Amino acid sequence: MSYHELIGKYVNDRDETIVSQLGQLLKTKELALVDFIVSIGDHLQSTELSKRSIALTLGANVLEHLPSTFLESNEIHHLIVFLSAKMSDHHILVQPSVQLFRILAKQAAICDDDCLLIIKAIFSDVYVQSFPQASRYNVYVIFLHFLLYRLDVVQQVGSDFVCNFIQAMDGERDPRNLVLCFQCLQCMTKHLEIEPYKEELFEVVACYFPMEYKPKATNNENEETITHEQLVLSLRNVLTSTGKFAQYCIPMLLEKLDSDIPSARVAAMDLFIHCINEYDARDMSSYLVPLWNLLSKQALCAENQEVEIYALQAITTLMQLIGKTAQNDETEISTKKFVDRAIRECDKFLKEFDLQLVWPATKVLQAVARANSTCSSLIWSIILPLLIKQFNNLEQARFTFTSTPSISFIYPLLDIRTIIKLPTDVGDELWIAISTNFELFPSQCLSLTSNLLQINTMPGQALEDNLTKFILHENINDELKIKLASVLKTIASSAVFDRLCTILLTNLINSWTASKTVPSNLTLECCVDLCYNSERCQERLERFFFPSQQFIRLLPNLFKYLSHSYILTNLFTPLFDLLLSSVAHDN
């Protein structure tokens, strides 16, 4: 069957097997491209509009089987000019023409002028939203390809591209198309001049926020399924891609934050958290206080954990945005002003331990302190003295606040890595507070101890006694064991605490030496934790265990907590000598 007959059979019967046959003839040069186009052209003169459309569709389907390097530049040009003319013949030819444009746009030999011809043809002759989904998809694929790989061409069109794209996607509802649109928009905000149309561009995107799409179940394995998460991420990437959206986006977020729907508030806070890299506090200065008011309200009165987590992260983001902008105490762009606002709002809850908001208030202050070192320093200078004062009244407070002791409200504030060095008097008072309350609240005291040690705050003798008693008490649950191990390893890892480490080891060794009993597994574990740092542990072990007949009895237990590599590296030689000595003395 000749290629003329094959083309005629496709136009009349839509036999899809013919597409691959014609594609193979073109690849093997048995059929010249010009002859193929001329043969299709015969059917494009048909009085039946449907046959014209089918002929163009055949051309698109056949060319799609060809590699992206198949066409020469002059061939691409003639095809584009030909298609541009056909698009004005009748609207039924527009969709297959766009399909052909998509294929030609991805040909490697296409020149800049031909890319411009495609863009202008689509903008002038195509009403995108009147197309079915597949044809709209083709339009967006063309635009995205040019934005990604022929950006210099798109930039020649300039803001007109932005304006026409807004009109093209306005009202788009298909999730597959929306993902492409959002990707296009993200490129446009980064690389095109959007200033004349920034509000229109924002509005065409903002109507989808918050994304409420739910994917439909499908039995077709070949059908692409867009997830809710994909759409949320794509939409978020657009809205946070440029600071030029800030003046429109923040009022929208304020409206959502005041919503009765928790999911809308969470979506708004999530979007705000991701604005940090592009938005500037100067673009939203009039909205900073309303933002703080709504975010702190969400954090203090959260109806579930998800809302609370996002609210606290958003508060940190707000303080970071303010902090990275030039400070002006005469405006609202002032870190000090907002820290003072946070303290005024929260310290009243810290003073009244019978209120349910004491713990949420502490989390808010912690979120503020996490933003930067300035926030942290300001929070510490005011809040820590207040909380330490509560320790002095702990007996009184215990009657009205029995569920969570006041110490639990201090240690999260210390879990901040950007923190400045503690003033000596504040550190001393904290260690006294720990000593006073260690027996009553061991879990909180261990957490606070770990954080204080990590910022190299030197403890007093009281901690040595407390830890020794606590270890030898032995009745410790698994949660406390983990916290205790963290404290001991912190002590062992820093040369600053060598003296403390030595004293603790001495206390533990003396306790079982004096009682002439085999130490418990817990005590041995603690000894191993105190020998955690390899640079100093061999010296410590040798000092306390070698030569010792008693140590031989401890080996089975001790080896359960030491790795093989550690034994071979640090203990093998002294252990072997000790065992030989014991055998020689018939022990």
Q: Is 381 exposed, middle or buried (0-12, 13-18, 19+ CB in 10 A)?
A: middle
Q: Does one domain contain both 417 and 365?
A: yes
Q: Are 71 and 109 in contact (CB under 8 A)?
A: yes
In this prediction, residue 356 carries a pLDDT of 78
CA distance 27 to 420: 70
| Across 516-539, average pLDDT | 67
In this prediction, residue 85 carries a pLDDT of 87
Q: Where do runs of H (alpha helix) occur along 172-217? A: 175-191, 198-206
Whether residue 181 is contained in a domain is answered as no
In this prediction, residue 413 carries a pLDDT of 56
User: Which one-letter amino acid corresponds to residue 432?
Assistant: I
In this prediction, residue 67 carries a pLDDT of 93
CA distance 481 to 490: 14
| Residue 483 scores a pLDDT above 80 | yes
N-terminal to C-terminal alpha carbon distance within the chain: 102
CA distance 425 to 472: 31
CA distance 67 to 103: 10
The two three-digit tokens of residue 528, written as one number: 């191993």
Instruction: Provide the pLDDT confidence category of residue 532 given band limits of 50, 70 and 90.
Output: low
φ and ψ of 87, to 5 deg? -60, -30
Query: Which of 270, 297, 325 corresponds to the end of one domain?
Result: 325
User: Which one-letter amino acid corresponds to residue 242?
Assistant: T
Whether residue 157 is contained in a domain is answered as no
Q: Are 128 and 136 in contact (CB under 8 A)?
A: yes
**Directed axis angle between helix 246-257 and helix 262-273, to 10°?**
150
The two three-digit tokens of residue 347, written as one number: 């310290």
Q: Does one domain contain both 340 and 435?
A: yes
Instruction: Provide the pLDDT confidence category of residue 418 given band limits of 50, 70 and 90.
Output: very low
Neighbours of 107 (CB within 10 A): 20
**What ranges make up the beta strands (E) of 337-466?**
none
| Across 163-179, average pLDDT | 95
The contacts of residue 176 (CB under 8 Å, 6+ apart) are: 133, 137, 224, 226
φ and ψ of 540, to 5 deg? -65, -45
- Kind and range of the H or E run holding 78: helix 73-87
Query: Which of 297, 325, 353 corresponds to the end of one domain?
Result: 325
Instruction: Provide the pLDDT confidence category of residue 134 given band limits of 50, 70 and 90.
Output: very high
Q: Does one domain contain both 290 and 381?
A: no
Whether residue 286 is contained in a domain is answered as yes
Q: Does one domain contain both 343 and 292?
A: no
Q: Does one domain contain both 357 and 316?
A: no
Q: Are 467 and 487 in contact (CB under 8 A)?
A: yes
Whether residue 352 is contained in a domain is answered as yes
Burial letters 443-469, b for 16+ CB under 10 A, else e: bbbbbbbbbbbbeebebeeebbebbbe
In this prediction, residue 117 carries a pLDDT of 96
In this prediction, residue 516 carries a pLDDT of 66
CA distance 390 to 410: 10
- Which residue would you say has higher pLDDT here, 361 or 105? 105
- DSSP secondary structure letters along 339-365: HHHHHHHHHHHHH-TTSTTHHHHHHHH
CATH of the domain at 301: 1.25.10
CA distance 587 to 577: 14
In this prediction, residue 212 carries a pLDDT of 87
pTM of the entire predicted model: 0.78
Q: Ranked by mean pLDDT, which of 13-17, 104-108, 409-413 comes out on top?
A: 104-108
What percentage of the chain has pLDDT greater than the value 70?
Answer: 81
pLDDT per residue over 21-77, tens digit each?
998 999 988 999 888 888 888 888 887 888 888 989 999 999 998 999 999 999 999
| Residue 403 scores a pLDDT above 50 | no
Q: Are 486 and 529 in contact (CB under 8 A)?
A: no
Tell me how many domains the chain contains.
Answer: 2
Segments forming the whole domain that contains residue 373:
334-440
Q: Does one domain contain both 296 and 360?
A: no
Instruction: Provide the pLDDT confidence category of residue 178 given band limits of 50, 70 and 90.
Output: very high
φ and ψ of 32, to 5 deg? -80, 145
Which of 48-52, 68-72, 343-347, 522-526 shows the lowest mean pLDDT across its residues? 522-526
Q: Does one domain contain both 317 and 375?
A: no
CA distance 81 to 85: 6
* Of the candidates 211, 207, 204, the residue with the CA atom closest to the CA atom of residue 168: 204
Q: Is the Cα torsion angle 52, 58, 61, 63 positive or negative in sign?
A: negative
What percentage of the chain has pLDDT greater than the value 90?
Answer: 43
* Of the candidates 390, 352, 348, the residue with the CA atom closest to the CA atom of residue 365: 348
Whether residue 282 is contained in a domain is answered as yes
Whether residue 304 is contained in a domain is answered as yes
Q: Are 9 and 15 in contact (CB under 8 A)?
A: yes
* Of the candidates 462, 559, 472, the residue with the CA atom closest to the CA atom of residue 512: 472
What 3-state DSSP class applies to 12? helix
The contacts of residue 559 (CB under 8 Å, 6+ apart) are: 567
| Across 229-254, average pLDDT | 96
Whether residue 200 is contained in a domain is answered as no
In this prediction, residue 401 carries a pLDDT of 40
**Directed axis angle between helix 73-87 and helix 94-105, to 10°?**
160
Q: Does one domain contain both 377 and 320?
A: no
pLDDT per residue over 549-586, tens digit each?
555 555 665 565 556 665 666 566 666 666 666 666 66
CA distance 267 to 240: 13
Q: Does one domain contain both 436 and 349?
A: yes
CA distance 34 to 55: 15
Q: Ranked by mean pLDDT, which of 172-181, 213-222, 504-513, 539-548 comes out on top?
A: 172-181
Whether residue 510 is contained in a domain is answered as no
| Residue 220 scores a pLDDT above 70 | no
Q: Does one domain contain both 315 and 340?
A: no
Q: Does one domain contain both 286 and 267?
A: yes
Q: Does one domain contain both 320 and 402?
A: no
Q: Is 363 exposed, middle or buried (0-12, 13-18, 19+ CB in 10 A)?
A: buried
Query: Which of 440, 461, 482 corresponds to the end of one domain?
Result: 440
Which of 172-186, 416-430, 505-519 shows the lowest mean pLDDT across its residues? 416-430
- Kind and range of the H or E run holding 584: helix 572-584
